A and B are shown apart, each in its own frame.
Chain A
Amino acid sequence: MKKFVWSLTILFLVALLPLPVAAENPATTHVYDEANLLSDLHMEELETIAAEYGEKLHIDFIFFTREDNTTFIGDYMDDFYDEKALGYDKAHGRAVLVGIDMSGRDIVIDAHSDVKEKLDTDRLTMIRDTITSDLTNGNYIEAFTNVIYLTDKYMQFKPGVNPDNPMYKTSVQIIVALIVGGVVVGGMLFRMNPRMTTNAGTYHDSNNSEILGKRDRYIRTTVTKRRKPKQNKSGGGSSGGSIGRTGGGFSRSRSSGKF
């Protein structure tokens, strides 16, 4: 019995000991603006926001811009991730990479490590679709900060859910609830009005009534045709998303396209 109490006490003390924490290695530089798309002021702003939200979400946000058509920007991002061992929580850990290449007007967004569970290819494509118009118009700072804000928003939603569904907006929920209340109470009020309980059949004498003549003569047929509505969702510049691996074998989700 004594032995048992001892072992229990030791177990308890062990449980109290601080667990070994994985060493964190947040990135110090978040923006690599080789194509010089951002002013110094915007660089500074983006760095600040990336650092701030990186700490909040435990994600390294890395932005690349360049003008170089020798290699695909996506491959360059994969190599960069492998070499620099990016990741907020650990080497080759949680990171979101955004790359644009002005030579081919390519845009690539990657989510690494377990970030890709919530930022799956669909959500990355939604982010990319949202920022494409800003990129086209040259509002690079808007586009890049928007990636961070949308990541912040989308990371809160469980995987597999469409975060842009309006039913998840509190304002829409309130409006729908008010409509439900209005319809139900309106129905209750309407039901209080006395209703007619007779209809055309109430006094109909079916024993004596008869149909004396009945004719349905076919005259003609007309046919009109219209084209089936197309079912593509977004406009130009969009291509798909995919789950893939970097050269170093690290799995990531990706969405890429043109702008």
Chain B
Amino acid sequence: MLLHYKCPNCGDDMAFDTESGSLSCSSCGHQENIETYDDAYIEHAFADDEEVKEYHCENCGAIVITDADTTATSCSFCEAAVVLGDRLTGKLAPKKVIPFKINKQQAQEAFVKWCRKGILTPRGFMTANRIENITGMYVPFWIYDINSKVEFRGTGTKVRTYSKGDYIYTETKYYDIYRKLDLYYSRVPADASEKMADDIMDKLEPYHYNDLETFKTPYLVGYLAEKYNYDDKDLLPRVKGRVRKFAQTYTKSTMPGYATITTKNEDIHTKNLRAQYALFPVWMVYYNLDKQQHTFAMNGQTGKVVGKPPISKRKVAYWFSGISVGAFAVIKSVAFAISGVFW
């Protein structure tokens, strides 16, 4: 089932507008409020034979080419934005979505600005006029509510040194430390798409949850979207590992004032309370430089750019020699001013 949003006013294609947060028509400016949109079909479960499905564009009739994970795209023939409704239903139905806050033009500008900051990147990169492709994409995430019960036993030391007579005394006080904590972590995200590198997605965080909305299909109109490849159980170990570190850090933070802390026994029981399927906005920027393609990701809500920019060896050499020569000149002149000796 293909969803295609036409303007009830003039019949043109509608798309999601980041500024108003509603569906809007690019021709007549008509806006539809997404929250009141009827999404009754989402409750309906379709048969599991989606792989063989062919989608026909309702606009022009051409076959919409998608891969198996795509849930929103545009018709390659007439460019009409379409949502593949049956891939967003039943257990594939997202619960939540953070809509795009940054539109394509803002994303492009933010990326160019970010590129200019890189003074060690090649000259061509700094102008950033070679963005090949910039794609807005809803990436599937699982967001977990986690409870960690921590029981910690250890030994802490407090050290004081003082001098008396000809000796320096080091006084070490030992303490027996016990902590029992009940910790809650809410909405810890984990990227559920096969295609996205976990470390890049982790670095795009944080997403701010005050923009978290109940999912409605019109949010996807005009963007690419994917369904999850890993379900909440697949990703739970990764999230538990992450939360375990959070809990350890928090536990340590309840023991201020100790010079050293050694652990005798640390029990951390991590339990998943709830996992929700959510879509987070990401701008993917594809960039060509010296026949090499570079990929950058940008948080579609906050604008944070993640990616390793190319490094110009020549610029590194210039900066290194420039700073070294400058530092030498400063050192030399200070030394000369103080000592009166040049060589």
Q: A168-B339, A225-B168 are in contact. Are A214 and B174 (CB under 8 A)?
A: no
CA distance A199 to B250 in the complex (A): 11
Asked whether B203 lies within 8 Å of A195 as measured between CB atoms, the reply is yes
State the Cβ distance, A58 to closest chain B Cβ, in Å: 17
Asked whether A188 lies within 8 Å of B119 as measured between CB atoms, the reply is yes
CA distance A217 to B307 in the complex (A): 48
> Which of B167, B181, B203, B319 interacts with A196 by CB under 8 Å?
B203
Q: A161-B339, A196-B202, A221-B171 are in contact. Are A181 and B183 (CB under 8 A)?
A: no
CA distance A219 to B343 in the complex (A): 61
Closest to A182 in B: B320
State the Cβ distance, B74 to closest chain A Cβ, in Å: 29
Asked whether B328 lies within 8 Å of A174 as measured between CB atoms, the reply is yes
> Which of A174, A192, A204, A225 interacts with B246 by CB under 8 Å?
A204
Which of A12-20, A205-213, A251-259 lies at the interface with chain B? A205-213
- Report the interface size class on chain A: 35 or more
CA distance A74 to B169 in the complex (A): 46
For A196, list chain B residues within 8 Å (CB): 202-203, 205
Asked whether B311 lies within 8 Å of A225 as measured between CB atoms, the reply is no
Asked whether B341 lies within 8 Å of A168 as measured between CB atoms, the reply is yes
Asked whether A215 lies within 8 Å of B168 as measured between CB atoms, the reply is no
For B327, list chain A residues within 8 Å (CB): 176-177, 180-181
State the Cβ distance, A177 to closest chain B Cβ, in Å: 4
Asked whether A212 lies within 8 Å of B182 as measured between CB atoms, the reply is yes
Q: List 10 A-B contacts (CB under 8 A).
A: A157-B340, A163-B339, A184-B319, A185-B319, A202-B206, A209-B183, A215-B177, A218-B174, A221-B171, A221-B172
State the Cβ distance, A205 to closest chain B Cβ, in Å: 4
Contact of B170 with A by CB under 8 A: yes
> Which of B182, B323, B325 interacts with A210 by CB under 8 Å?
B182
Asked whether A170 lies within 8 Å of B343 as measured between CB atoms, the reply is yes
Asked whether B325 lies within 8 Å of A177 as measured between CB atoms, the reply is yes
Q: Which of B148-205 contact A (CB under 8 A)?
A: 155-156, 163, 166-188, 200, 202-203, 205
For A213, list chain B residues within 8 Å (CB): 178-180
Q: Which B residues have a C-beta under 8 Å from some C-beta of A? A: 118-121, 155-156, 163, 166-188, 200, 202-203, 205-206, 243, 245-246, 249-250, 254-255, 304-309, 311, 316, 319-325, 327-328, 331-332, 335, 338-341, 343
For A70, list chain B residues within 8 Å (CB): none
Asked whether A223 lies within 8 Å of B169 as measured between CB atoms, the reply is yes
For A177, list chain B residues within 8 Å (CB): 324-325, 327-328, 331
Asked whether A203 lies within 8 Å of B246 as measured between CB atoms, the reply is yes
Asked whether A192 lies within 8 Å of B308 as measured between CB atoms, the reply is yes
Of all A-B residue pairs in the complex, the 6 with the closest CB atoms, nearest first, are: A181-B324, A213-B180, A177-B328, A200-B249, A158-B340, A205-B184
Contact of A40 with B by CB under 8 A: no
Residue in A158, A177, A202 with the greatest tally of chain B CB atoms within 10 Å:
A177
Closest to A173 in B: B331
> Which of A161, A163, A185, A189 interacts with B323 by CB under 8 Å?
A185
State the Cβ distance, B327 to closest chain A Cβ, in Å: 4
Asked whether B169 lies within 8 Å of A202 as measured between CB atoms, the reply is no
Q: A194-B308, A200-B246 are in contact. Are A211 and B120 (CB under 8 A)?
A: no
State the Cβ distance, A119 to closest chain B Cβ, in Å: 14
> Which of B168, B206, B339 interacts with A198 by CB under 8 Å?
B206
Closest to A224 in B: B170
Contact of A232 with B by CB under 8 A: no
State the Cβ distance, A84 to closest chain B Cβ, in Å: 32
Asked whether A197 lies within 8 Å of B206 as measured between CB atoms, the reply is yes
Asked whether A194 lies within 8 Å of B170 as measured between CB atoms, the reply is no
> Which of B173, B249, B254, B304 interacts with A218 by CB under 8 Å?
B173
Asked whether A225 lies within 8 Å of B167 as measured between CB atoms, the reply is yes
Asked whether B180 lies within 8 Å of A219 as measured between CB atoms, the reply is no
Contact of A226 with B by CB under 8 A: yes
Q: A177-B325, A182-B320, A225-B168 are in contact. Are A218 and B339 (CB under 8 A)?
A: no
